[in-house]
Amino acid sequence: MALDILKNPVLLIAVPLLLAFLAVFLKKIDKALLWIAAVANAASAVLLAVVYQGMTVVELGGFKPPFGISLVLDEYSLIGVVVLNVLFALILLLSGKLVKQYATVLLVALAALNGIILTGDLFNLFVFLEIAAIAAYIFTAMDKGFKHSFNYLVVGTLGSGLYLFGIILLYNIFGSLNMFDIRAQLQAIGGAGAETLTLPLVMIFTGLSVEAKLMPFGGWVKGVLHKANSLVGTMIVSGYALAVLLAVGRLMDTVFQMTDAVLIAFTAVAVGTLIFAEASAFSKKNLREILLFSSVAQAGLVVLLFLYGLTVPAVLVLVNNVVSKFVLFTVAGRLAHALETDDIGELKGVFVKVPLVGVGFTVAVMSLIGLPLFFGFVAKINALVGLFNAGNVWLPLIILVMAVVEGAYFVRILTTLWNTGEEGEVSSRDNLKAFNLDGMKGLGVVSVGIAIVIVALGILPVLNIKQFFSVDFMTFVQQLLGGM
């Protein structure tokens, strides 16, 4: 059938890459090409989801796995490509004018991010990571912040070098670069080789930590993002965070056979990132700085969940984070652009002027904290129950304490941005500053639209709670309530 060709996930990579090459020669219509790629990719990702019938492995160049490169489309990567491509189209919609001469770079980034999510080959993942990273170095320098981008470039190249070193060691051990082939070999020897894998796994984890923004390897993120516009900001905290963390999760699912010592070391990095980043976010006064540290904290949380094998909760937390952060960072970037400041104190009562944007922002914040009735609650309760079921008490405790810290600074932001007067005063329109906010209508509509999706995804599982949550969850609740 002629339509069958459209069901091939390789199009998600090939179409933007082809259009990127065309855009180099057809400079005049490069923005149109970017739009074609974004819409085509979003449509094709949704189509893949509609016709999805179980895991498919696409062989490239006719080599059967484990030889050659293969793309893997399963539930895991399907969620990834759908969220990524729809978000990319929305990012483009809300920051159209910022694209300027960066259309080619964004096309390359789109192709590489899809590749990161889909690939089943370790070296292919390295290539896509490098392509995505090079695109990121270029567009983060959009606002003349060459020093910060150079910093990112040096750390990023060092990180991918370490990742490459790690996978070559794995190739030396297993004679294969196919993730699923390595997993099969690991299962065949039944966990006997865990000690041998220590060095490659540490190298891979360290290398990926740079792009995944785990501390201390992700120190570049503050310089790059603290003054970023809405396009650069949302690309890094949504698109890149989603793709790279999904790749980390895929590797942990396939090749990470850890000894207890290695697991403790990786856990320490993830927990340290969570605590450090939440504490940093709490102490900041600028909206974009708070959001970027909150992103780092969420990356730590997601990696922590992946480390303990909680893939489904981790993906839920990750999707919740990137969707919420997309709204938050777009609003922050647009406000900063319109008012030339993102100091919270200067933005007092700004949402009274643009209530639609305010509602979208507020719902995204509520979901990010994980309040009930929002999607974030579903994600976080699954994560916590998963950790409890695995017999872990300390990690849920840390996550809950950090959620309180997160709640504290986000509620502070919300009260300031909605309240025109001083803290404790009755909010009155008389105190409202004369903000000059034009052209926020589109942003308002999109953010309210996303807010409706977030609330819908939060309420639907509650309506049929028994089907959604696992059986373990219900027994857990019953025990908690004393066998009611």
Partner 1 sequence: MIQYVSIALMLVGIYGLLTQKNVIKLIVSLNIFEVGINVFIISVGYVSGGIAPILTSQNNTSALLYVDPLPQALVLTSIVIGVGVTALALAFARRMHKQYGTYNLDEMEGE
Question: Which residues contribute to the site for partner 1 (CB under 8 A)?
Answer: 123, 127, 130, 134, 137-138, 141, 144, 146-147, 149-150, 153-154, 157-158, 161, 164-165, 168, 171-172, 177, 223
CB of 159 to partner 1, least distance (A): 11
CB of 256 to partner 1, least distance (A): 21
CB of 176 to partner 1, least distance (A): 10
CB of 92 to partner 1, least distance (A): 24
CB of 221 to partner 1, least distance (A): 15
Query: Residue 73: CB partners within 8 Å, gap ≥ 6?
Result: 9, 48, 52, 55, 56, 57, 58, 118
CB closer to partner 1, 7 vs 227: 227
Spatial contact of 125 and 117, defined as CB atoms under 8 Å apart: no
One-letter amino acid for residue 13 of the chain: I
Cα–Cα distance for residue pair 93/230, rounded to 1 Å: 11
* 416: nearest Cα among 438, 404, 431, 402: 431
CB of 147 to partner 1, least distance (A): 6
CB closer to partner 1, 97 vs 144: 144
CB closer to partner 1, 76 vs 150: 150
CB closer to partner 1, 223 vs 407: 223
CB of 70 to partner 1, least distance (A): 15
CA angle 300–306–312, rounded 5-degree value: 115
CB closer to partner 1, 172 vs 436: 172
CB of 129 to partner 1, least distance (A): 10
Query: Residue 452: CB partners within 8 Å, gap ≥ 6?
Result: none
Q: Which residue has the tokens 């992103």?
A: 295
CB of 165 to partner 1, least distance (A): 6
CB closer to partner 1, 166 vs 313: 166
- The CA-based dihedral angle spanning residues 478, 482, 483, 484, taken in that order and rounded to the nearest 10 degrees: -90
CA angle 306–360–367, rounded 5-degree value: 30
CA angle 109–112–114, rounded 5-degree value: 110
One-letter amino acid for residue 102 of the chain: Y
CB closer to partner 1, 215 vs 319: 215
CB closer to partner 1, 141 vs 301: 141
CB of 204 to partner 1, least distance (A): 14
CB closer to partner 1, 126 vs 266: 126
Instruction: Write phi, then psi, for 422 (nearest 5 degrees).
Output: -70, 165
CB closer to partner 1, 65 vs 458: 65
